[in-house]
Amino acid sequence: MRSPDLSVEIAGVRFPNPILPASGTFGFGEEFFEIYDLNVLGGIVTKSLRFNYFPGNPQPRIYETPCGLLNSIGIPSDGYEYFKIHHLPFLNKLSIPKVISIAGNSIDDYVMLIEHLNKDDGIDVIELNVSCPNLEKEGKTFDSDKEVLIDVVRKVLSESSYPVFVKLSPNTNIIDNAVLVEELGADGVVIANTLLGMAIDIEKKIPVFKNIFAGFSGPCVKPQILRLVWQVADRVNIPIIASGGITNFKDAIEFLLAGATLLEVGTANFFNLYTMPEIIKGIEDYLIRNNISEIGKIIGFARKENIL
């Protein structure tokens, strides 16, 4: 058969295939561009951008576990002006969709950032990271408070010239939050940011990280995130972007069958630089073996209504 069509479309944006890097694991792509042509990807998701410079958390920031990775990076950022001068020109050289992840310490931070990004060329989608601490609410994440979540999503959607995907935390009531952001008009929902974990230094006898808890990611979280994608797909009609534990094409196929439209690969990029191109090739070969002409035919195929 001919090469299958791997493309998917969300809110008028055509992604040539469903594989993108997860925010925070790929920088702005410059380093990986030296390794392979990024245009083979379905799109690129940048590390989360803040309006102003922000240093992030103190060291240590990374801690390896036998089955995953703990990170307490703190979403450092050089700020919007640096991004516009140093990163956006590179991104605009790519032919694939550009998804700009945004973060903030307050709702005003998000609004100011969107107002500036609206003036830029070459941006296709905004990924609204609401899993970061809201310094106006004692450091609680934006999606841990329903009213705050409504406020930030509504204001970003009203200001944005681009489609908006909302990235939610699995450490809150993520299913209800997914329903909420759909009701507010989001174009897609990202399931999910990192789980919470921790580690203790047995020699110092104190937690490894200053903030005690850290984001937990890697192959071990895949069954949990796959379950969340399945449950969210039961409740919403907007596209789901799955992120969590995807390391090979078999993982990718599972998430597609469960109802995800796009897939973000994160921690796996650290232990195999070619993970994403290999997954894309694996998906294509799978479709050929199963005589499936286009990827859309398997999205959500394993859903309950398809089980006899």
Q: How far apart are CA 177 and CA 88, in angstroms?
A: 31
Asked whether 4 and 287 are in contact (CB, 8 A), the reply is: yes
Q: How far apart are CA 305 and CA 80, in angstroms?
A: 45
Q: How far apart are CA 137 and CA 61, in angstroms?
A: 24
Catalytic option among 99, 132, 156, 225: 132
User: Can 220 be counted among the known catalytic residues?
Assistant: no
- Nearest CA-CA partner of 171 in 207, 227, 129, 131: 131
Q: Both ends of the chain: CA-CA distance in Å?
A: 28
Query: Which amino acid is residue 298, in one-letter code?
Result: I
Q: Is 147 exposed, middle or buried (0-12, 13-18, 19+ CB in 10 A)?
A: exposed
Here the tokens at position 181 are 């952001």
**Side-chain-side CA neighbours of residue 95 (13 Å):** 5
Alpha helices (H) in the chain, listed in sequence order: 30-33, 80-82, 88-91, 107-117, 146-159, 174-184, 222-235, 249-258, 268-271, 275-289
Residue 140 phi/psi, 5-degree rounding, is -70, 145
User: In the block, which residue shows the tokens 């951008």?
Assistant: 49
| DSSP secondary structure code for residue 219 in this structure | G
Residues marked as catalytic:
132
